[in-house]
Amino acid sequence: MSPPIRWLLILPAAIVAWFVALFTCIALHQGIEALCSLGQKERGGCYEPWFWVFSRVLPEFGAALAAALVLIACTLVAPARKRQVAIAAFAIGAVVAIIMGWGHVAPIAAAIISGSIVLAFVLRRLASISLPNKSLERTREG
């Protein structure tokens, strides 16, 4: 695929990755809710003691999963400058997480922490861009 097309596909890849995380969490919620016993279901809700913990953790898990998938998708789709794309995806993703989660600190923190862990991993895996080492070259004296 040509580089200009890959540059144009970064944003759609991020959106698709976000929706993959969303639908994964929806399916996970429905699957866990199906385990709720009939005696503990009322008005469409599950009142099992363990379900309360699960329902409180799921938004943070979803935010963390979305951050990781978006960062990885953007980095994989980028045809060049993958380090810069990863850093930009993290920065933009942090702003989007703050906007989307305004008033809910835990999902924002989960997204930013997950994004920073994935960013650190991605930056370690990608070759570092550095200037050539000239420390062993002869220097002119005096």
Please report the pLDDT score of residue 33 as a whole number.
Answer: 83
Answer for the pair 6, 79: CB distance below 8 angstroms, yes or no.
yes
Contacts of 68 (CB under 8 A, 6+ apart): 114, 115, 117, 118
Confidence of residue 16 (pLDDT cuts 50, 70, 90): very high
pTM recorded for the entire structure: 0.82
Asked if pLDDT for residue 113 goes beyond 80, the answer is yes
Instruction: Please write the tens of the pLDDT for every residue from 45-72.
Output: 777 778 888 888 999 999 999 999 999 9
Q: Which of 18, 109, 113 is nearest to 72 (CA)?
A: 18
Q: What is the mean pLDDT of residues 87-91?
A: 96
DSSP secondary structure of 85-129: HHHHHHHHHHHHHHHHTTT-HHHHHHHHHHHHHHHHHHHHHSPP-
Contacts 24+ apart (CB under 8 A), 83-87: 83/122, 83/123, 83/126, 83/129, 85/10, 86/119, 86/122, 86/123, 86/126, 87/119, 87/123
Residue 2 DSSP SS3: coil
